[in-house]
Structure 1
Amino acid sequence: MKAKQIPGVPWQHSGAYHDTESIKKIVASDLLAQKFEILKERFFSINHWKDYCGKGSADFRLFDSGGSYIERIPQKGDFMRIDIPGPGDIEAKGYDWVEIVLVDDHCSDDELERYLICCRPSKIPGSNTDHIAHFYSRESSSTFVISRGHDFIKTAVYGRNEIPNYKKTGFWGRIRNFLISTGGYTRITKMQWKSYTDGLLDF
């Protein structure tokens, strides 16, 4: 199978990928609009994603470009600090970091409304190092999407070009990232993303 080509999602060129999607069918248009408003509020409340997705899911926190914790709608140039169950980046005190590189609201032909947040592995915001605090390289991406059609609402995460980070990290980071890439950790992260997409739609 090939990676889906989704508008706004980076193209798959190399490495691993995943398409994780959850769909809830709702026929009544007024109920559909109501549920999507709830979904939008959840989607843009990054600091509360874990509340919707269960105790076993990753914990996300939103930070600005200077490294300060913030409670607001995410913007391009913000950062997410991720605490995924399991070993984290040693130099980042056990966390992984991504930068928000795109926030978009363009719809495709079969959508009435859509919102997208695209992230790439990054350094710790505010730091003066080029150390990428993530087990994937900077070329990798994760794109979070919610959308509303005529009779459905949908949540999705699309991972693209997932290549282990062996360059922009320290010695222990390279060992950790090697173990992750060879130890079946991708299956665990796939389960994490499915918990996320299902959890946002659990009303």
Structure 2
Amino acid sequence: MDEKNYTGAIPGQQKGDVITAESTCTFVGPEEAIGFFNLAKSRLLHVNGWQERAGKALARFTLTDADGHPVPGAAREGLLICVDIPGPGGEQAGGYDWVKIEEIKEADSGDVQSVALRVRPVAAPHSSDAEPTHFYAQTSTSTFTVTREHARVTAAVYDRNIEPNTETGSLIDKVRNAIVGFFAEKAFSKLQWQSLTDGLMELS
């Protein structure tokens, strides 16, 4: 699968693993595709609805401010996302994993429209540990995109430079992150992101 990197938001791959998930819908003409692109873009930017799109058996995503307070509405650069994955969570963050929205970019050349949202693991709000409160290391990123190319609309997630986070100060969290990170790399993230991209592309 070719990266839909029209915005330039997807980082280059330097080390670690790569995970890509992609779902596509093709329409009769560009007018219908433009309308669906705008709908899918809204779904992407409303992070609080991701679990409903991906399936309730998978992770729950909550958009928050820098203090961890829930935020309604669309995603914005600088906000955090609290991730509640099935199974045991990190000890130091009350069972949650945290990422920061570090970039939201759009591109529009007429025949091509694209929006990208990139996140990176960070420490939980008010955490005494500078290391990310996440099973992935800080070098890891996830970039979520919705792209229209003529009459085709594609939702995709690009995980790049993926490595388990084993630098946390807690021994329990080191073990947990190594185990969860391994299974996320091999299976869970692909399942999660494929379910999300499929949900973003639902016609109803």
**Is TM-score (shorter-chain normalized) higher than 0.5?**
yes
Report which stretch shifted further, 25-34 or 193-202. 25-34
| Further displaced range: 135-144 or 35-44 | 35-44
What code does the residue aligned with 2:150 have?
H
> Distance in 2 between the 1:26 and 1:69 partners?
36
Residue 128 of structure 1 deviates from its aligned partner by: 4.5
CA RMSD of aligned residues (A): 2.2
1:9-28 equivalences in 2 (<5 Å): 9-28=10-29
| C-alpha distance 180-110 of structure 1, shift in aligned 2 (>3 A) | farther
CA distance in 2, matches of 1:110, 1:19: 26
User: Any conservation in 2 of the 1:133–1:169 contact (CA below 8 Å)?
Assistant: no
Q: Secondary structure at the match of 2:107?
A: coil
Displacement after TM superposition at 1:131 (Å): 3.6
Structure 2: how far apart are the matches of 1:166 and 1:12? Answer: 20
Gaps (5+ residues) in structure 2? none
**Contact residue 140 and residue 162 of structure 2 kept, 8 A:** yes
Q: Any conservation in 1 of the 2:76–2:104 contact (CA below 8 Å)? A: yes
- Runs of 5+ consecutive residues of structure 1 not aligned to the other structure: none
Identity level (%): 31
Report the CA distance shift for 1:110/1:30 in structure 2 as closer, same or farther (over 3 A): closer
Match of 1:161 in 2: 161
Q: Distance in 2 between matches of 1:194 and 1:118?
A: 17
Matched residue type, 2:189 = T
Indicate how the Cα distance of structure 1 residues 20 and 183 shifts in structure 2: closer, same or farther if over 3 A, else same: closer
- Alignment correspondent of 2:124: 124
Aligned CA distance change for structure 1 residues 163 and 169 (closer, same or farther; 3 Å): farther
Taking a change above 3 Å as real, the CA distance of residues 184 and 121 of structure 1, as seen in their structure-2 partners, is closer
Match status 1:113 vs 2:152: no
Superposed displacement of residue 195, structure 1 = 0.3
State how far apart, in whole Å, the 2-side matches of 1:154 and 1:183 are: 26
Change (3 A) 1:134 1:27: same
- 1:131, 1:170 within 8 Å by CA — same for their partners in 2? no
Contact 1:111/1:147 (CA < 8 Å) preserved in 2?
A: no
- Measure the CA separation in 2 of the matches of 1:117 and 1:174: 28
Which deviates the most, 175-184 or 51-60? 175-184
Separation in 1, partners of 2:153, 2:183 = 34
- Structure-2 residue corresponding to 1:66: 67
- TM-fit CA distance, 1:158: 0.3
Instruction: List per-residue Cα deviations over 1:85-122 (Å, max 9, x = no partner).
Output: 23322221221100111111125x79521111100001
Residue in 1 aligned with 2:151? 151
Aligned residues: 201
Asked whether the 8 Å contact 2:4–2:147 carries over to 1, the reply is no
Q: CA deviation at 1:168?
A: 3.0
Asked if the contact 1:103–1:118 (Cα under 8 Å) also holds between the matched residues in 2, the reply is: yes
TM-score calculated relative to the size of structure 1: 0.90
Give the C-alpha shift of residue 184 in structure 1: 6.6
SS in 2 for 1:106: strand
- CA distance in structure 2 between the partners assigned to 1:41 and 1:184 by the alignment: 27
What's 2:77 paired with?
A: 76
